Amino acid sequence: MFHIPFNNQYASLGPSFYVETLPSPVANPTLIKFNEDLAEALGISTSDLDPDDLATFFAGNRIADGSVPLAMAYAGHQFGNFVPQLGDGRALLLGEVASPDGDYFDVQLKGSGPTAYSRNGDGRAALGPVLREYLVSEAMATLGVPTTRALAAVTTGEDVVRDRLLPGGVITRVAKSFVRVGTFQYFAGRGDLDAVRKLADYVIEHNYPQLCDAQNSYVDLFKAVVDAQAVLIAQWMRLGFIHGVMNTDNMSIAGETIDYGPCAFMDEYKHNKVFSSIDRDGRYAYNNQPAIGLWNLTRLAECIAPLFSQDEDSAVEVAKDILTTYQPAYEQHWLANMRAKCGLTTDVDKAIANEDKVLIESLLDIMAQHQADFTQTFFYLSQSKLQSSEPTSKQDSALPDLFGRATQFNDWFRKWRQRLSYETISEEQRQATMQAVNPVYISRNHQIEAAIRAAEDHNDFSVFHDLLEVLQSPYTQQEGKDKYMLPPQADEVVKQTYCGT
Ligand code: AMP
Ligand code: MG
């Protein structure tokens, strides 16, 4: 028997928070992938299930014991415009699981059929976006970025209608929480402060239990969410990751990357790179992400500040004070991450940290000028041997090649070498620490596209499986897998990604 030890705390919040909804069965569910390691970590036992049984459950054709499937209500600012009701239009929360480690995880089907919140949508997901979300979210996890995880993916045996007919899929996602900034906005927008408080209490108990006994746990919750967001976006930036649609309904209260739509890791570096076809003004461009994080947190503050104090003025002051901590916290995390990427690990005073910042920013400028590949630049920097002044191997010449052998880069490299001479660790240690934070492999857009093409056009999932396997160890160079390191050839470039709804 399929057993997930669900508890249904969210369901106990009451009917204004969700609509109980059963998944709509699909014609012919077939398992693409089941994440056994994750299932084990969650304490989900599936030992006596074969792939067909798993497909039946993860397509929503059968419901596991103890599950109360529901569509969560939420609102959200979409590209800056407030929409008072969005909600899970094609997703269903199956329930919460307490893992053997005592952490809570929410399990959700996405693509499982219409709900009360579907508006004009069909409640379904196309196979392509399912594979994309699986690959990118699992890549983020192994890269060490807070993220929702992928537990399973299935094909449905049914087509979905988009700009053309596409095969359908369902992804099962696991998150610390599926509560979003937009969930708070839903209740605040209706003036329902009791529901805002109830939701905050749920989030504290579920995701921030250490705050339960705080003097003002709502203030501390807001502080914790602000911190988590600063950490998260600094992680995205260190990897050249662009979320694509940072609407408030796509911002998790638990500080995880959530709702992978038209997202991508950059190949060639550009400060204000945009991938999403729907982001016409570049609101969610790479270098706008930190500021959008603050914008979204300000929307959250508007919802929960009334919980901080009875006195409106002092509540607003508290919220403002906390919001002002975001930018410095983000910058501190960013600098720490970027210094580590450059092998700058020793503690330094403020003046040198500032010089390091200038050094890093000038590298990014030169990368942008020469369209150097983001991941390859840092990969080859972390391979560089600094003892010899002349390039001695193919790898040594790969780095200047990324910059078209421009003198600007050589000048920068010289400055970097000079700066490294103040570091106290050995060359080997420096290389090892740099290699631990600079990935060899990211889930590159053109490779995801190749996996989708093979699956959609030829029912061939081997490309997906091979890529997923490589991404399990993103910081380790793997034999025979060099093609996954490479940026796209001119004809492979994916210029935009689509929302994929
Ligand atoms: P997203 O762009 O995936 O973050 O979704 C934004 C909103 O649109 C959410 O309320 C989704 O549930 C809803 N939505 C997206 N795609 C569909 C679909 N195919 N059917 C129903 N609702 C959808
Ligand atoms: Mg969303």
Question: Per-residue DSSP letters for 369-434?
Answer: HTT-BHHHHHHHHHH---SSSS--SHHHHHHHHHTTT-HHHHHHHHHHHHHHTT--S-HHHHHHHH
Domain contains 196 = no
At which of 127, 154, 175 does a domain end? 175
Residue nearest to atom 16 of ligand 1 (CA): 501
Q: What is the pLDDT of residue 393?
A: 57
Q: Check if 21 has its Cβ closer than 6 Å to any atom of ligand 1.
A: no
Residue to mutate, 85, 122, 181, 501, ligand 1, most ligand atoms under 8 Å from C-beta: 501
Instruction: Note whether 273 and 160 are same-domain residues.
Output: no
Q: Check if 262 has its Cβ closer than 6 Å to any atom of ligand 1.
A: no
At which of 334, 358, 388 does a domain end? 334
Ligand nearest to the CA of 86: 1
Q: Check if 473 has its Cβ closer than 6 Å to any atom of ligand 1.
A: no
Instruction: Note whether 305 and 394 are same-domain residues.
Output: no
Instruction: Note whether 373 and 351 are same-domain residues.
Output: yes
Q: What is the pLDDT of residue 193?
A: 98
Domain contains 83 = yes
Q: Check if 73 has its Cβ closer than 6 Å to any atom of ligand 1.
A: no
Instruction: Note whether 272 and 359 are same-domain residues.
Output: no
Say how many Å lie between the CA of residue 250 and the centre of ligand 2. 5
To the nearest 10 degrees (0 to 180), the angle between helices 217-239 and 193-207 is 60
Q: Check if 278 has its Cβ closer than 6 Å to any atom of ligand 1.
A: no
Instruction: Note whether 263 and 371 are same-domain residues.
Output: no
pTM score, whole prediction: 0.97
Q: Check if 261 has its Cβ closer than 6 Å to any atom of ligand 1.
A: yes
Say how many Å lie between the CA of residue 455 and the centre of ligand 1. 23
Domain contains 185 = no
CA distances from 493 to 239, 264, 292, 497 (A): 19, 12, 27, 11
d(CA 50, CA 62): 14
Q: Is 225 helix (H, G, I), strand (E, B) or coil?
A: helix
Instruction: Note whether 328 and 357 are same-domain residues.
Output: no
Rounding to the nearest 10 degrees, give the CA dihedral for residues 273, 277, 280, 283.
-50
Say how many Å lie between the CA of residue 272 and the centre of ligand 2. 23
Q: What is the pLDDT along the chain (501 residues), one digit of tens a residue?
A: 567 889 899 999 999 999 999 999 999 999 999 999 999 999 887 777 899 999 999 999 999 888 999 999 999 999 999 999 999 999 999 999 988 888 889 999 999 999 999 999 999 999 999 999 999 999 999 999 999 999 999 999 999 999 999 999 999 999 999 999 999 999 999 999 999 999 999 999 999 999 999 899 999 999 999 999 999 999 999 999 999 999 999 999 999 999 999 999 999 999 999 988 889 899 999 999 999 999 999 999 999 999 999 999 999 999 999 999 999 999 999 999 999 999 998 888 888 889 999 999 999 999 999 999 999 999 999 999 876 555 555 666 899 999 999 999 999 999 999 999 999 999 999 999 999 999 999 999 999 999 999 999 999 999 999 999 999 999 999 999 999 999 999 888 887 776 555
Ligand nearest to the CA of 73: 1
Q: Count up the domains in the chain and report the number.
A: 3
Q: What is the pLDDT of residue 417?
A: 94
Domain contains 197 = no
Q: What is the pLDDT of residue 437?
A: 98
Q: What is the pLDDT of residue 162?
A: 94
Is-catalytic flag, 249?
Answer: yes
Whether 444 contacts 487, CB under 8 Å: yes
Burial of residue 332 (number of CB atoms within 10 Å: 0-12, 13-18, 19+) = middle
Task: Please give the number of the atom of ligand 1 that sits closest to the Cα of 249.
Answer: 4
Say how many Å lie between the CA of residue 201 and the centre of ligand 2. 23
Burial of residue 483 (number of CB atoms within 10 Å: 0-12, 13-18, 19+) = exposed
Instruction: Note whether 358 and 477 are same-domain residues.
Output: yes
Q: Tokens 């249904």 identify what position? A: 8
Say how many Å lie between the CA of residue 146 and the centre of ligand 1. 22
Say how many Å lie between the CA of residue 261 and the centre of ligand 1. 10
d(CA 204, CA 218): 8
d(CA 105, CA 142): 18
Rounding to the nearest 10 degrees, give the CA dihedral for residues 169, 172, 177, 183.
30
Domain that holds residue 479: 346-488
Rounding to the nearest 10 degrees, give the CA dihedral for residues 104, 193, 91, 45.
20
Q: Check if 259 has its Cβ closer than 6 Å to any atom of ligand 1.
A: yes
Q: Check if 279 has its Cβ closer than 6 Å to any atom of ligand 1.
A: no
Whether 255 contacts 230, CB under 8 Å: no
Instruction: Note whether 287 and 219 are same-domain residues.
Output: yes
Instruction: Note whether 415 and 387 are same-domain residues.
Output: yes
Residues 6+ apart with CB under 8 A from 282: 272, 274, 288
Domain contains 51 = yes
Domain contains 191 = no
Q: What is the pLDDT of residue 4?
A: 82
Instruction: Note whether 320 and 359 are same-domain residues.
Output: no
At which of 158, 175, 192 does a domain end? 175
Residue type, position 339, single letter: R
Instruction: Note whether 464 and 401 are same-domain residues.
Output: yes
Q: Is 80 helix (H, G, I), strand (E, B) or coil?
A: coil
Ligand nearest to the CA of 180: 2
What Rg do the C-alpha atoms of the chain give, in angstroms? 23
Instruction: Note whether 171 and 290 are same-domain residues.
Output: no
Ligand nearest to the CA of 262: 1
Q: Check if 85 has its Cβ closer than 6 Å to any atom of ligand 1.
A: no
Catalytic residue, chosen from 88, 106, 249, 279, is 249
Domain contains 377 = yes
Domain contains 3 = no
